[in-house]
């Protein structure tokens, strides 16, 4: 994801600015501020601003006047308790703002999380860049026969090359027609001064969903962790999962105690239904339990066996 000279200069200028503050800051996240973390072929995630830290979670939970004098181990114990028992409001006291560049089809998945403030690049006002997402060969897969939302075997050879060619050609042709309808070049200058161009708000309808867009996305820590629990999961679509994984690294730098509790109690944990828990208790008591007498359907049984690292 190469930056233009202008973009690099803007980032350098932002990082060079200093502002005196009495509020808590986090050195590890300060080091990441404004820097683009590359995602996919042209995308990125950047932290633009943040408020709060691990101590702010503790302060809100205790409703104390300051950061307190308790030991870090006691703060960690409280944060882990809050995470374990899903007490959400102390985590809502921390907020973070990201600048994200992502393909339009990923943005349409992402926007379903209606718990953030979003402002997207306007193609009614500006011209979108000539940048399209093209999957790496190892991520170009057929439809799964078992999961209507998932992928199956990876395409190879001529078939993979043909599909990539179609994706590239369609995106390029659609963008060329987009520019032609606008009658503007990519800098906004008229290509044919004697011919009126189509309105930008209409011309954009021709673009393919792998075209890149950008937005600012501001969210509190509680809702960010909910987003990450779904989108950083191994079952999430690869193209949004890699954004979640990049954001996880920023959370690790920002609130390391909350991050570790999140890994332990949310991302690395499983939830058992009452019937699943009964089956596990029977197994722990030495009973041989099968799917037929477990009270679970086949999918639930398979999920339980996967969680227990047993064969179904």
CATH code of the domain in which 32 resides: 3.30.1360.170
- Give the span between the Cα atoms of 224 and 221, in whole angstroms: 5
Same domain, 122 and 145: no
Query: Do residues 6 and 97 share a domain?
Result: yes
> Does residue 140 sit in the same domain as residue 280?
no
Q: How crowded is residue 195: how many other Cβ atoms within 10 Å of its Cβ?
A: 8
Of 157, 152, 133, the closest CA to residue 141 belongs to 152
Per-residue pLDDT tens digits for 221-272: 999 999 999 999 998 999 999 999 999 999 999 999 999 999 999 999 999 9
Q: Domain check: are 285 and 196 in the same one?
A: no
Final residue belonging to a domain, choices 181, 209, 237 = 209
Yes or no: say if 101 and 214 are a contact pair by the CB < 8 Å rule.
yes
Final residue of a structural domain among 182, 209, 236: 209
Angstrom CA distances, 191 to 47, 101, 197, stand at 37, 28, 9
CB proximity list for 305: less than 8 A, separation 6 or greater: 311, 312
85 and 224 both lie in a single domain: yes
Q: For the chain, give the mean pLDDT.
A: 91
Nearest to 255 by CA among 116, 108, 52, 111: 52
Q: Tell me, yes or no, whether 175 and 81 share the same domain.
A: no
Give residue-wise pLDDT tens across range 167-196.
999 999 999 999 999 988 777 788 888 788
Q: How far apart are CA 166 and CA 170, in angstroms?
A: 6
Q: Which domain holds residue 167?
A: 134-209
Distance CA 185, CA 176 (A): 10
Q: What is the mean predicted confidence (pLDDT) over 293-308?
A: 94
Q: What angle do CA 44, 96, 211 make, to 5 degrees?
A: 30
Task: Judge if 241 and 93 occupy the same domain.
Answer: yes
Task: Examine the domain organization and report whether 302 and 219 are in the same domain.
Answer: no
Among 209, 224, 240, where does a domain finish? Answer: 209
What positions carry a catalytic annotation?
A: 231
Same domain (yes/no): 150, 125: no
Residue 18 has pLDDT above 90, yes or no: no
Query: Which parts of the chain are beta strand (E)?
Result: 37-39, 43-51, 95-103, 117-120, 141-143, 151-154, 212-220
Identify whether residues 122 and 21 lie together within a single domain. yes
Please name every residue paired with 220 in a beta bridge, in sequence order, or none if there are none: 95
Residues 34 and 96 placed together within one structural domain of the fold: yes
Question: Does residue 236 sit in helix, strand or coil?
Answer: coil
In a domain, 312, yes or no: no
Number of domains in the chain: 3
Q: Is residue 288 part of a domain?
A: yes
Three-state DSSP at 160 gives: helix
Question: 72 falls in which pLDDT band (50, 70, 90)?
Answer: confident
Q: Which two tokens stand for residue 21?
A: 């503050």
Residue among 235, 250, 217, 226 at smallest CA distance from 83: 226
- Considering the domain architecture, whether residues 93 and 126 belong to the same structural domain is answered as yes
pLDDT in tens, 108-154: 999 999 999 999 999 988 999 999 999 998 888 877 666 666 777 88
* Pair 299, 291: CB distance under 8 Å: no
């Amino acid at each position: 994801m190469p930056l233009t000279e202008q973009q690099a200069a803007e980032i350098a200028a932002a990082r060079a600015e200093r502002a005196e503050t009495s509020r808590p800051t986090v050195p590890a996240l300060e080091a990441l501020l404004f820097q683009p973390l590359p995602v996919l072929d042209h995308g990125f995630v950047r932290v633009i601003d943040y408020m709060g830290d691990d101590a702010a979670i503790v302060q809100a939970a205790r409703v104390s006047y300051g950061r307190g004098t308790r030991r870090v181990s006691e703060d960690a114990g409280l944060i882990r308790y809050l995470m374990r028992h899903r007490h959400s409001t102390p985590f809502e006291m921390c907020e973070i703002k990201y600048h994200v560049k992502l393909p339009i089809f990923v943005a349409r998945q992402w926007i379903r999380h209606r718990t953030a403030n979003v402002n997207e690049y306007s193609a009614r006002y500006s011209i979108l860049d000539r940048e399209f997402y093209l999957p790496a060969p190892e991520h170009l897969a057929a439809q799964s026969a078992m999961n209507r939302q998932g992928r199956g075997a990876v395409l190879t050879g001529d078939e993979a090359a043909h599909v990539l060619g179609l994706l590239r050609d369609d995106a390029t042709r659609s963008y060329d027609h987009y520019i032609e309808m606008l009658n503007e070049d990519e800098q906004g200058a008229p290509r044919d001064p004697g011919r009126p161009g189509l309105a930008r708000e209409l011309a954009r309808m021709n673009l393919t969903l792998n075209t890149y867009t950008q937005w600012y996305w501001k969210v509190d820590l509680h809702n960010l962790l909910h987003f990450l629990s779904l989108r950083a999961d191994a079952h999430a679509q690869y193209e949004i999962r890699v954004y979640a994984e990049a954001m996880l690294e920023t959370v690790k730098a920002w609130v390391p105690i909350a991050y570790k509790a999140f890994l332990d109690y949310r991302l690395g944990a499983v939830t058992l239904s009452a019937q699943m828990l009964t089956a596990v208790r029977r197994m722990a008591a030495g009973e041989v339990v099968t799917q037929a007498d477990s009270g679970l359907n086949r999918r639930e049984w398979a999920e339980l066996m996967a969680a227990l690292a047993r064969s179904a």
